Structure 1
Amino acid sequence: MSRMNVKIISVLASVGIALAGCGSTATKEAEKPAVNAAKQEHTVERFYFTANEGGTISKVSATDNKVAATIKADGVVHNIQLSPDGKVVAATLIPETGHSHGGHEEKTPGKVVFFDAFTNQLLKTVEVGNHPAHVVYSEDGKYVLATNNEDNTVSVINAATYDLVKTVPTGKGPHGFRISADSKFAYIANMGEDTVSAINLETFKEERIKTGNTPVTTGITRDGKTLAVTLFAESSLAIVNVETKEIVKVKVGNGPAQVYIGPDDKFAYVANQGTEESPSNSLSIVDLETKKVVEEIETGNGAHGVTVSSDGKFAYVTNMFDNTVSVIDLESKHVNTIDVGEIPNGITIMD
């Protein structure tokens, strides 16, 4: 499949964006070998997965950072996430082209595809709206949500049955999002306007929060009190007090795309993409308490997707314009560069 710039929403073209979380001591000692043996027997290899807009998913070993498998898809794979139990990987799939009818191209609905994370077997395909962008599981494992850029909606899917439960209106151009740790709210960045849609996953009612110019993705702390939003056109991270709606904007690299809040809720990790004509190549680490950038780490060109391991030791960044992933040791700041599929976008890791 030839390299292509994917149209996500009409606003992207106007701003030039390629976008593209008992017994006794003696008994205990006697049980130790058995326990250790059991742990060894049930140890499974960990992987991380990249959504490649060139039409594949790269499955990479988290142990040696080698590509273990390349899963082909019929269309553009934009975003990806593992289920809370780590057994299923979900990805948004945009059909390569629509069908011509009477001189006009008909829109072809997008899909969310589900694969077994270990065997790579396709489990289910669910039709959603036009140009699906990001896909996220609620932490309680009840729902999978996918934003539909061109429909201004989010699709809510039953994670157990794969049934489409509801389609909820959002702001214009919904894109990246996260769901709160208590699984009650989804915070969706609306790229076509300066808002985030906060959707109650019990009532499916929406409230909009003003943030800034061209919000791309969000992050939410585990206590649900602090929202982080990347503002592409402002090259800033908006830090929002969810209760008061007070906003502090922190300057990061040029054209920030995704943000991921680390496991201790202390830092926000921002991938700075820029544009294909003028790419950025850095990861900004923002202290959410002081609201300052504390570290800037060089990545590949077009840094877009970002995730952090559950122990907080490594950050993983997709580099869209280099077809690579930067694996960053957050203690030593050493960066390991891994070749993956064409135009890697979203990324997710087993923990």
Structure 2
Amino acid sequence: MFQQGWFVMTNRNNGFWAVVQMGLLAWSGATWAADQVYVANEGADTVSVLDAASFQTLASVRVGRMPHNVQVSPDGKFAWVTNNGEPGPMADAAAHKGMAPGAHGAMAQPGAVWVIDTGTQAIVARVPVGMHPAHVVVSPDGRLAYVTNGGDNSVSVIDTSARKLVASIPVGPFPHGLRISPDGKEVYVANLKGGTVSVIDTASQKAVAQVAVGKGPAQTGFTPDGRWAFVSLSQENAVAVIDPATRQVVRKIAVGSVPIQLYATPDSRTLLVANQGSRQKPGNTVSLIDLERFKVAKTVVTGAGAHGVAIDREGRYAYVSNTYANTVSVLDLKDRKIAKTVPVGQAPNGISATP
């Protein structure tokens, strides 16, 4: 992560100093542009853009109705946002507001994924998908995007260059969170109302297995080394650990109330789990699981309704969206303390950092 400030270069042969302000390097295009964090504000129909160095808000981008999740592409050039189409009357807002697991209801019209240019923060595409889209991920090579459609039990596959739907894959009941394996060969889909994880083969674009995991699976994840997969069990207050080689649950780890999103650190040693709780009894913690001992090593207090988790490429900071507090907590992973709390839009849910 590049920090803004003054960078001094010395040329010993010519004996001169050249001083370059790092913050000005963004003018040349994508080179050394500031890292950013994108937050989907489901209650505000916006995406907040934060500077990952200063933690200041850079922009608020108007998107479609009730944006639930956002994902920055591997090249950092675009942010993909799931929503329910053009902004309009919010009569159906109660069906999704705050992502109360199990309380979702299908929207009357198919949803969409909108694409934000991260250089200009402009909307550059709108791609129709299935009913009630929840999460979106982009393949490691950047060619395809996968979107869960909770309203019709499917995953939409989008060609990111053409920005067109190329496949629709049936999965389990009410698919919600999904992640792609580090090698890009499989997509793990959490079926919130099915108690299963669907495994999609990215070569054939077909679901090739369903793994029974437990109650209320909300989001999946992998360690970067590919050794372990995970799924949060929102109705068990636990995380299930899956062996990708056997596609079997090998253990469960107790965490906080209503765990939703989870994310492993770049060194594959720690798993962060956001414990949202309910609107009536909000959770406000992130569990840090030691992946050598498979035990919670630390519980950090964030904000009410801790929901989304993203970690920067260096493993220095984690960003946690607090759905009921309308904030993002910046967690210093070295000190395991909150370094900053940033106000964002109403009901922030999905969150993603530039790679």
Shorter-chain TM-score: what band? 0.7 to 0.9
Q: Quick one: which of 228, 232, 235 aligns to 1:233?
A: 235
Question: What whole-Å deviation, never above 9, does each CA across 1:276-302 have from its counterpart, x for those lacking one?
Answer: 001100000111221100110001000
Aligned to 1:251: 254
- Tell me the amino acid that sits aligned with residue 159 of structure 1: T
| Residue of structure 2 equivalent to 1:48 | 37
Distance in 1 separating the partners of 2:143 and 2:36: 23
1:16-63 CA-partner distances (Å, limit 9, x unpaired): xxxxxxxxxxxx966999999698744311110100002100011112
Per residue, is there more helix in 1 or in 2?
1
Deviation digits for residues 287-338 of structure 1 (CA, Å, limit 9, x no counterpart): 1221100110001000000011111111110000000000011122331111
> What is the 5 A alignment of 1:183-262?
183-206=184-207, 207-244=209-246, 245-262=248-265
CA distance in 2, matches of 1:119, 1:253: 38
Q: Corresponding residue for 2:84?
A: 94
1:318 alignment partner, SS class? strand
For residues 20 and 273 of structure 2, what CA distance do their matches in structure 1 show? 40
Cα displacement (A) at 1:240: 1.0
TM-score by length of 2: 0.85
Alpha-carbon distance, 1:183 to partner: 1.2
Q: Are the counterparts in 1 of residues 259 and 275 from structure 2 also a CA contact under 8 Å?
A: yes
Moved segments of 4+, more than 3 Å: 28-42, 95-100
Residue matched to 1:19: none
- Residue of structure 2 in register with 1:329 after alignment: 332
The one-letter code matched in structure 2 to 1:234 is E
Instruction: Give the conservation status (yes or no) of the 8 Å contact 1:193–1:214.
Output: yes
Q: Is the partner of 1:139 in helix, strand or coil?
A: coil
The answer (yes or no) to whether the contact 1:99–1:107 under 8 Å persists in 2 is no
Secondary structure of the residue aligned to 1:76 is coil
Output the amino acid matched with 1:89.
A
| Paired residue type of 2:186 | F
2:279 aligned with 1:276, yes or no?
yes
SS of the residue corresponding to residue 229 of structure 1 reads strand
* Number of residues of Structure 1 aligned to a counterpart in Structure 2: 320
Would the aligned equivalents of 1:211 and 1:247 in 2 still touch at CA under 8 Å? no
Do structure 1's residue 177 and structure 2's residue 167 form an aligned pair?
Answer: no
Question: Could you tell me how far apart the structure 2 residues matched to 1:87 and 1:72 are?
Answer: 18
**Counterparts in 2 of 1:276 and 1:33: CA distance versus 1, 3 Å:** farther
Q: Distance in 2 between matches of 1:32 and 1:142?
A: 47
Q: Give SS of 2:235's match.
A: helix
CA contact under 8 A between 1:99 and 1:106: conserved in structure 2? Answer: no
Q: Contact 1:98 / 1:108 at 8 angstroms: preserved in 2?
A: no
CA drift of 1:106 comes to 7.9
Name the SS of the counterpart of 1:249 in structure 2: strand
- Shift of the 293–124 alpha-carbon distance from structure 1 to 2, 3 Å rule, reads same
Conserved? CA contact 2:107–2:151, under 8 Å? no
Alignment of structure 1 residues 83-122 onto 2, 5 Å: 83-95=73-85, 107-122=108-123
Helix, strand or coil at the partner of 1:264: coil
Aligned AA (1:49): Y
1:239-281 CA-partner distances (Å, limit 9, x unpaired): 1112231420000011101001111111110000011001100
SS in 2 for 1:233: coil
Change over 3 Å in CA distance of 1:98–1:167 after alignment to 2 = farther
Percent identity over the alignment is 38
> Distance in 1 between the 2:41 and 2:17 partners?
42
Cα deviation, residue 230, structure 1: 0.3
| CA shift digits 1:107-163 (9 cap, x unpaired) | 211000001012011111000001000010011111011100010000000111111
Q: Show the counterpart of 1:266.
A: 269
Distance in structure 2 (CA, Å) of the matches to 1:51 and 1:33: 47
Distance (Å, rounded) in 1 between the aligned partners of 2:83 and 2:289: 31
1:262 and 1:324 map into 2 onto residues whose CA distance is 22
Indicate yes or no: 2:71 matched with 1:68: no
Query: Please, which runs of 5 or more residues in structure 2 have no aligned partner?
Result: 1-10, 26-30, 93-105
